Structures are given as structure tokens and as C-alpha cells.
């Protein structure tokens, strides 16, 4: 088959700039072949090389005494959890494929991240996901704006949402891995460009860590897994360009097709093979397929690798070398075997009925050499293409829209006139509503290690002996493996980051850490997924740069090193860019089973205590900037988001864990989207004691001035700040400051999203002791109510809210199901 001539137009189609093409030629010392052009295109794409983000990623904290495999070293980071055990975890995106083919795009995203984990020698034990879509609730104006044969934006968002969830459920359920946690947001900025971030965690012993290195000159190279096809061609390059209708249609073939049953066989066979000691190196064929796995393993080991494409199993006739090297067909692995141990490899893969082929050898040339039909079709220095891609310091410029954001005040926003109606609207808003429609499609109990299922602040799993990869007959455990308890949370808030990238980045990490603290866990580490738009736009790159600064500062504050992750740029569609959306998955450890804490109230008569300030008096918007309340009730995404004081947050988490460890805390729920009122409602309605049976419990809350002595709100006047004299007067309008945006309002009290707040419940007899202990620990604590009663009642200086918990639960529990009917 003749290859096309290399022209400037062809180079441009491969997303290489003229300068990059010159660098390519300098690397080779000649013009490239067509196959080599394709190889450089995928390896120098943002998805594989991080050429626009690498300088920023170096600012993350990545060191810790617990780190066994650090960020960027291998396919996933590994952290020590004691007693010779370790966990491997990572999060990655499959955004563009899911926009084009939601089911397969999401399914293969799950498959890819699972392979990253067992490639490290770890047995995958759970998965988590973070999802973003356009709105799924009807808007009559928008619904009627499309033509008769056009799918409305709402209908298309539902199609994408349903397809993605089905794809995740299909792959995870068939593979046999529980999906234990996640988050879902809906916002217009994700319309047409959904975000699908998949996380996986696995367990292994220290001595079982495997490396993706082509070690040992003369060692044979094996291909394992199903035959290579034309699906997934140049998927990495597709993920590194703006998503348009035209590009989506052209790149439909870049979406891979997954087979979870095949992946299960590959996983078990690889773990069994690793136990024999016959493996010198192992790498999955993920993004960029055979290209990435060969050059990266050689680059890591400082060796060369030579493969023969005629020996690669192929399921399509007459595949070119370009297609074979760039295919991203799923469930394939590259394994470097110690010479002389080939028969063990063949025996194990035959046992598991898996295709295999010996396709190459490790060399001392330092080059990746590819042969096809007896000819060399690619000869590239492995380290130069894997590690020395172009790196750019992009221009960053503060966006113009932030001037309006900072000038925003509440003077034009009427205070709530019906707070209970607003609370109901927030509970029924799909972003806040229960995500049971999603997680009930997932098997979250398979393998029977899930201690806290989806629906609380963090999931909790136990790690026991049968979670670990098997050892060979010649190996044996020297002692019984003690059970470990791991907590997981994934968080992100694109609206906050859009309105203030630095503070928003801090809040993402702080909320993940707060969720772990509410479960009784201390952080171990973080993996992040950076979902942003086009880095060539200075204003969009500024969002990325500033939010990474916030993420890094917060990770340092909570002693949660970044173990790895993924950058997904070019997330924008013809209508505009997505909100900048860093997603953080944080893993923590709980020392004892009795420390496990969930978010729902437990017993009638228990005292309800707020840890943290009722309002943030230093915030002129009192936590309403960027809030769910402004978005849902007033249709506004504006205002500076609440401030995140990392030192105060850290002290809160330490104090909360201390209270939990003392045995007095019955429930703990962090205060985030929707503010205090939503947090209290969720604490009443979020416990499920059976699949169809909720356990609902009321609460009587008093937020009047007499019950809650406030921190004095601040007023800005002539550049100075001074306290508003009387909170009650400010609420009722009797204060000279009542007409100013800084005056505390009822909506701010109920729905403001000030950071650093947690609602806990304790036995009534322990309440005084807890308040005294909190004071000793240096954190604000206020008893604000009692568990029990006919429903949820909240007394405030301006109004008393009364709601039936059965009605609140129905709105919250069934909102997404009703939208998806």
C-alpha cells in the first residue's frame, strides 16, 4: 500500500505546527515516513506529552514518606498503607470519546484506568467517577427553539448522560469491580462537551510493584490480548483538539470499543504471570496504543525496542503500519519477558484462552524500530519522542469577565421571600439532588468489601487478604494481613473555579479533604484530572495556571501529595469553552472500624452542632457568590466565591477527627453546595436502610440571634471595614446598613456556602463536652438544634421554615429519575 506524500497540509492535519515538524526532522535527521509522522503526532499531542501543562504540573507537591511510586514515574502512583501493603490509584478522562459515542466512550474510559492499575501489579478493587453534562431539566424556551427534526439541547444532554452512565455500569459490572463513589454536575457550559473522569484503585504488596520498563537486552517482547483493529485510530490526537460537530463526525472511528470480559481475563492472567517472576516489564496499550507502550517502556529503561508488525494479531485485513501503530483497540498489553521464561508466559495465556504473540526484542540501540513486511517503517530515538516533546510556556492573561465578577454585589438580588420553596427547588436541582439514579445502575457491593456505599460524604472500603494479588507457590506471606480501611472522595466545582480560579482550586481540594474528615479518615494522597479549554487562548490558560496554583497550595496544606493524574485540554465546543474544571480524587485511611462516620442523623434527641462559623463575616457576599442558590433560584453564575482559609480548614479537619476518635460523633456532613439548609435536609433524608426504604428523621433547628451568636458582619465604607452593630437588625432592615449588599440576609444565612463548616450530631448528654472540647481545639462550635420531630423546622431571625421530610426526600431522591423518564 502506497503512503501519502508528506506535505504541509498533511502535517497540519496531524496537529503538528511547522516548528514542531522541524523539531521532528531534527530528531530523525531526515524526513519522516508516514508512519513516523503518525507516531510523532500522537506522542507529541497534549494527551500524551503534556506539552502545554508540564511546567505547571511540576509545581504540585509529589513527595511524602509514604510515596513508593511517584507522579510521572509509571502508569499510576503507589502509596504505602502500612504492614507491607500499598495502594495504586489514578484518575483519567475520556471526554471527547464520550461526546461522540457516550456508551463506548465512557466504557473504555473505565477499561483504560483499570489497566493502568493492574499494570502496576495491583489488583483493582474499586472505581469512582466524576461526570459533567449540560442541563437535563426542561426549559420551555430552549426546548422549543429547535427544528422539528433536531434533537433539543436538553434531550441531547439526557442522551449523553444516559449513555455515559450505562457505559460505566456495563464495563464495571461486567469486569466485577464495585463503583463506590462519584459526583455529577449539570451546567450549560458542558453542553456538547461532557466530562467523563474515571478513577480506579488497586491493592498490592510492596514486593509486587511492577514497572513499565523494557529491561534486559535480548529479552523477548510479547503482545497479549485481542487482535488489533481500526477502532480507536489516533484517539490521543483526537483528544488534543477542539471538539466541533465536524471533528466529532470525522473522529467517530477514534472511539474505542471495549470488552470487559476480555479485560477480566487479561487482568487475571497478567497478575498470575507477574507472580511467577518471569516479567521484566509490563505496559498497557492505552492512549497511542502500540506506539506509546513501546517507546515509553524503552525510554524508562534507557534501552531500545524492535518489533515486527507482521506478528501483531490483526482483526482487519490489509492494515497498514500506520493503522497498527496508532490503533487504540482495547484490552491489550505489552509484556517484556525474561529470556528463557517464554514457555511460562505461553502456558499462562493459553490457560486463560488469551491471544498472544512474541512480536519483538529489547535492544541496546536506544531506538524504537518498527518493521513491516520486511522493511523498517519507523526508526525513532525512544527517549527523544517519549521524554523530549516540545514544551511551551503559554501566555497567561487575566480574563476580562473577572472585572464584572468582582464588582458583583447583592443589591440587585432580592432576598428570599419563600425560603422553604427555595430549599425544595435546590433539593430537586439535579446537581444537588440524590444521584441514586446513577449509582443504582452500578454494582457497588461486588467482592463484599464496601463498608460505606454511595450516598455519604465519602465511600469506605475494607482491604483484606482476598483483595491482594496472589503470590506464587515459591512465595508465602510471612504474617496474616491485617484489614485496612480506605476512604475515597472525588470533588470539583467548575463554577467556583470560573469565578476565581485560585480560590476555586483551593476549595476543590479542601472539600475532598473535608469529606474524608467527615468519614473519619486522614488524607494519604491525591490524583487530579485537569479539564480545561484551549491553552492557546491566554485568558483560558490563565484559568488553568491560577487554579493549579490553588490546587498545589491546598495539597501542601493537607499533606496530600499528588501521585499522578491526567490533563484534558481543548474541552470546548462551538458555543464556547467549558468552565475550568479541575477534579480531585482524594484517598484517606481510617485507623479503626469504630471511627467510620456517615452523614445522616442517627437517633431522636441527639444534639446537632455546627463546627465552623454560621456565616463568613469577612465575605461581602456572605457565601452567596457562585452559589447553587444564585444559580438555581436567580439564574446567576456570578460573584466571587467564598474564601477558603486553608489553615482554618486544616484545624477544622483535625478537630473533627479528634472528636470522632473520642467516640462521641454519631454523624458528620460537610456544608457545601446549597449551604446550611441543604446540609441539614440531607442529614435528615439521605439514609437508605434498604433498596426501596429510606430512613427519614426530622430536626428542629434554631438559627435566631439568641441561639447563634454571630461573628459581626463587616461593612466596607471608604475603604475601611467595621462590624454591623446588630445581626437581627441587619436581617430585618432596621440597620443603616440593611440596604447594602454587605448586610446579612436570610438567603445568605440559609443558602450561603461559606467554607470550613461541618454539621455533626452527638448524644444530648455529650453536647456540652463536645462544645468544650471544640473550644480547647480552637474551632467555633455552636449547638443549633435537636434531631427528631415531625419534620425539618428551621427558625431564623426572619422566618421559620417547616418542611415534611417525606416530601423533601421525594424531591431530592426522585429528581433525576423524573428528568430521565
> Given a cut of 90, is residue 682 above it in pLDDT?
yes
Rounded distance between C-alpha atoms, residue 112 and residue 129, angstroms: 13
Closest CA to 472 of 279, 276, 270, 266: 276
In a domain, 735, yes or no: yes
744 within domain boundaries: yes
Question: What pLDDT, on a 0 to 100 scale, did the predictor assign at position 598?
Answer: 97
Asked if residue 821 is part of any domain, the answer here is yes
User: What is the number of residues in the chain?
Assistant: 821
The residues near 592 (Cβ < 8 Å, ≥ 6 apart) are 485
Cα–Cα distance measured from residue 143 to residue 151, given in angstroms and rounded to the nearest whole number: 9
Q: For residue 658, is pLDDT > 60? A: yes
Mean pLDDT of the residues in the chain: 91
Q: Cα–Cα distance between 305 and 370 in angstroms, integer?
A: 9
230: in domain: no
Asked whether residue 755 is assigned to any structural domain, the reply reads: yes
Residue 25 lies in a domain: no
Rounded to an integer, what distance in angstroms lies between the CA atom of residue 586 and that of residue 526? 5
Q: Which residues are catalytic?
A: 47, 94
Instruction: Assess whether pLDDT exceeds 80 at residue 24.
Output: yes
pLDDT at position 807 over 50: yes
User: Is 9 strand, coil or helix?
Assistant: helix
Is 742 inside a domain boundary? yes
Q: What integer is the mean pLDDT of 457-480?
A: 81
Distance CA 716, CA 57 (A): 38
What pLDDT band is residue 690 in, cutting at 50, 70 and 90? confident
| pLDDT value of residue 713 | 45
Question: Residue 763's pLDDT band (boundaries 50, 70, 90)?
Answer: very high
The pLDDT value recorded for residue 184 is: 98
Q: How many domains would you assign to the chain?
A: 1
Please tell me whether the overall predicted TM-score, pTM, comes out greater than 0.75 for this model: yes
Integer Cα distance of 66 and 18 in angstroms: 44
d(C-alpha 154, C-alpha 136), whole Å: 5
pLDDT score, position 241: 55
Work out the number of other CB atoms within 10 angstroms of the CB of residue 606: 24
- Percent of the chain at pLDDT > 90 equals 83
Which cell numbers hold the place of 377? 517503517
Residue 768 in this model has a pLDDT that exceeds 50: yes
Cell numbers of 259, please?
470488552
Per-residue pLDDT band at 145 (split at 50, 70, 90): very low
pLDDT score, position 253: 59
pLDDT value at 687 more than 90 = yes
- Determine which helix (DSSP H) or strand (DSSP E) holds 120, and give its type and residue range: none
Give one word for 353, left, alpha or beta, with left for phi > 0 and alpha for psi -120 to 50. left
| Assigned C-alpha cell, 117 | 492499575
Give me the pLDDT at residue 710, please: 52
pLDDT tens by residue, 80-115: 999 999 999 999 999 999 999 999 999 999 999 999
Range of the domain at 633: 598-821
Whether residue 681 is contained in a domain is answered as yes
pLDDT at 159 over 90: yes
- Residue pair 618/756 in contact (Cβ under 8 Å)? The answer is no
Q: Which three cell numbers stand for residue 578?
A: 467549558
Across residues 354-373, what is the average pLDDT? Answer: 97
The stretch 742-771 carries a mean pLDDT of 93
Find cell 442558590 and name the residue.
629
Average pLDDT over residues 47-57: 93
CATH of the domain at 668: 3.90.650.10
**Is-contact 195 571, C-beta < 8 A?**
yes
What is the separation, in whole angstroms, between the first and last Cα of the chain? 51
Give the model's pLDDT for residue 231: 80
Q: Are 92 and 566 in contact (CB under 8 A)?
A: yes
What whole-number distance in Å separates Cα of residue 611 and Cα of residue 775?
A: 10
The better pLDDT of the pair 150, 268 is held by 268
Is the confidence at residue 747, as pLDDT, over 80? yes
pLDDT digits (tens, 9 = 90+) for 390-400: 999 999 999 99
Interstrand relation of 220-224 and 356-363 (parallel, antiparallel or unpaired): antiparallel
Helices (H), 525-615: 538-557
Alpha carbon of residue 481 to chain centroid: 30
Taking phi over 0 as left and psi of -120 to 50 as alpha, with beta for the rest, 50 belongs to left
Identify the CA nearest to 169 among candidates 107, 94, 98, 257.
107
Q: What is the mean pLDDT of residues 785-792?
A: 95
pLDDT score, position 314: 94
Within 10 angstroms of residue 167's Cβ, the number of other Cβ atoms is: 26
Amino acid at each position: 500500500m502506497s503512503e501519502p506524500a508528506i506535505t504541509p497540509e498533511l502535517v497540519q492535519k496531524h496537529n503538528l505546527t511547522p516548528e514542531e515538524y522541524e523539531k521532528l526532522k531534527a530528531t530523525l535527521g531526515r524526513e519522516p515516513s508516514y508512519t513516523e509522522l503518525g507516531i510523532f503526532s500522537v506522542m507529541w499531542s497534549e494527551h500524551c506529552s503534556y506539552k502545554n501543562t508540564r511546567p505547571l504540573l511540576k509545581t504540585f507537591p509529589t513527595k511524602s514518606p509514604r510515596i513508593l511510586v511517584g507522579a510521572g514515574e509509571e502508569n499510576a502512583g503507589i502509596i504505602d498503607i502500612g504492614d507491607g501493603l500499598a495502594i495504586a490509584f489514578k484518575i483519567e478522562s475520556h471526554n471527547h470519546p464520550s461526546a461522540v459515542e457516550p456508551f463506548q466512550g465512557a466504557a473504555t474510559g473505565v477499561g483504560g484506568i483499570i489497566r493502568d492499575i493492574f499494570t502496576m501489579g495491583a489488583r483493582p478493587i474499586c472505581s469512582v467517577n466524576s461526570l459533567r453534562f449540560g442541563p437535563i431539566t426542561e426549559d420551555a424556551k430552549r426546548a422549543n427553539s429547535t427544528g422539528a427534526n433536531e434533537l433539543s439541547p436538553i434531550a441531547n444532554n439526557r442522551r449523553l448522560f444516559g449513555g455515559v452512565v450505562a457505559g460505566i455500569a456495563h464495563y464495571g459490572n461486567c469486569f466485577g469491580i464495585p463503583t463506590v463513589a462519584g459526583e455529577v454536575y449539570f451546567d450549560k457550559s458542558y453542553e456538547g462537551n461532557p466530562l467523563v473522569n474515571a478513577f480506579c484503585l488497586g491493592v498490592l504488596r510492596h514486593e509486587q510493584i511492577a514497572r513499565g520498563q523494557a529491561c534486559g537486552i535480548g529479552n523477548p517482547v510479547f503482545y497479549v490480548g485481542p487482535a488489533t483493529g481500526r477502532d480507536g485510530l489516533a484517539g490521543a490526537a483526537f483528544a488534543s483538539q477542539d471538539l466541533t460537530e465536524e471533528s466529532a463526525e470525522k473522529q467517530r472511528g477514534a472511539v474505542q470499543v471495549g470488552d470487559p470480559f476480555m479485560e477480566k481475563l487479561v487482568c487475571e492472567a497478567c497478575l498470575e504471570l507477574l507472580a511467577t517472576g518471569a516479567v521484566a516489564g509490563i505496559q498497557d496499550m492505552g492512549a497511542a496504543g502500540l506506539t506509546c507502550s513501546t517507546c515509553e517502556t524503552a525510554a524508562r529503561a534507557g534501552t531500545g525496542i524492535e518489533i515486527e508488525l507482521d506478528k501483531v494479531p490483526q482483526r482487519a485485513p490489509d492494515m497498514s503500519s500506520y493503522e497498527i501503530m496508532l490503533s487504540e483497540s482495547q484490552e491489550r498489553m505489552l509484556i517484556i519477558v525474561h529470556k528463557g521464561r517464554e514457555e511460562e508466559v505461553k502456558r499462562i495465556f493459553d490457560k486463560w484462552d488469551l491471544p498472544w504473540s512474541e512480536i519483538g526484542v529489547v535492544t541496546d540501540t536506544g531506538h524504537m524500530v518498527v518493521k513491516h513486511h520486511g522493511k523498517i517503517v519507523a526508526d525513532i530515538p525512544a527517549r527523544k519522542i517519549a521524554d523530549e516533546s516540545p514544551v511551551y510556556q503559554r501566555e497567561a492573561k487575566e480574563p476580562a469577565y473577572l472585572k464584572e465578577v468582582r464588582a458583583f454585589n447583592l443589591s440587585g438580588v432580592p432576598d428570599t421571600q419563600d425560603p422553604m420553596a427555595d430549599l425544595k427547588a435546590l433539593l430537586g436541582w439535579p446537581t444537588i439532588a440524590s444521584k441514586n439514579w446513577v449509582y443504582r445502575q452500578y454494582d457497588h457491593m461486588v467482592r463484599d468489601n464496601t463498608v460505606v456505599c454511595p450516598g455519604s460524604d465519602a465511600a469506605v472500603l475494607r482491604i483484606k487478604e482476598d483483595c491482594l494479588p496472589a503470590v506464587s507457590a515459591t512465595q508465602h506471606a510471612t504474617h496474616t494481613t491485617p484489614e485496612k480501611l480506605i476512604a475515597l472522595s472525588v470533588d470539583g466545582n467548575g463554577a467556583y473555579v470560573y469565578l476565581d480560579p485560585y480560590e476555586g482550586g483551593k476549595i476543590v481540594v479542601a472539600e475532598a479533604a473535608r469529606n474524608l474528615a467527615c468519614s473519619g479518615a486522614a488524607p494519604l494522597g491525591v490524583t487530579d484530572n485537569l479539564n480545561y479549554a484551549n491553552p492557546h487562548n491566554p485568558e483560558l490558560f490563565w484559568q488553568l495556571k491560577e487554579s493549579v496554583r490553588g490546587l498545589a497550595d491546598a495539597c501542601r496544606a493537607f499533606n496530600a501529595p499528588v501521585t499522578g493524574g491526567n490533563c484534558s485540554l481543548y474541552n470546548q465546543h462551538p458555543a464556547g469553552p467549558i468552565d475550568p474544571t479541575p477534579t480531585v480524587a482524594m484517598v484517606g485511611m481510617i485507623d479503626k472500624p469504630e471511627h467510620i462516620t456517615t452523614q445522616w442523623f442517627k437517633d431522636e434527641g441527639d444534639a446537632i452542632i455546627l463546627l465552623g462559623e454560621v456565616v463568613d463575616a469577612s465575605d461581602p457576599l456572605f457565601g452567596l457568590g457562585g452559589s447553587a442558590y444564585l444559580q438555581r433560584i436567580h439564574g446567576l453564575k456570578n460573584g466571587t466565591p467564598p474564601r477558603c482559609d486553608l489553615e482554618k480548614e486544616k484545624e477544622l479537619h483535625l478537630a473533627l477527627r479528634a472528636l470522632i476518635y473520642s467516640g462521641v460523633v454519631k454523624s458528620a456532613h460537610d456544608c457545601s453546595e446549597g449551604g446550611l439548609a441543604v446540609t441539614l435536609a440531607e442529614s435528615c433524608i439521605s439514609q437508605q436502610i434498604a433498596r426501596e426504604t429510606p430512613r427519614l428523621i426530622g430536626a428542629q433547628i434554631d438559627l435566631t440571634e439568641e441561639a447563634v451568636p454571630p461573628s459581626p458582619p463587616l461593612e466596607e465604607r471608604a475603604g475601611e471595614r467595621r462590624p454591623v452593630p446588630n445581626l437581627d437588625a441587619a436581617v430585618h432592615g432596621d440597620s443603616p446598613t440593611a440596604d447594602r449588599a454587605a448586610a446579612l440576609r436570610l438567603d445568605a444565612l440559609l443558602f450561603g456556602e461559606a467554607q470550613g463548616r461541618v454539621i455533626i450530631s452527638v448524644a444530648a448528654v455529650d453536647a456540652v463536652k463536645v462544645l468544650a472540647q471544640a473550644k480547647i481545639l480552637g474551632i467555633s462550635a455552636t449547638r443549633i438544634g435537636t434531631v427528631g420531630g415531625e419534620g425539618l423546622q428551621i427558625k431564623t431571625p426572619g422566618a421559620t421554615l417547616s418542611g415534611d421530610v417525606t416530601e423533601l426526600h421525594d424531591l431530592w431522591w426522585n429528581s433525576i429519575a423524573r428528568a430521565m423518564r
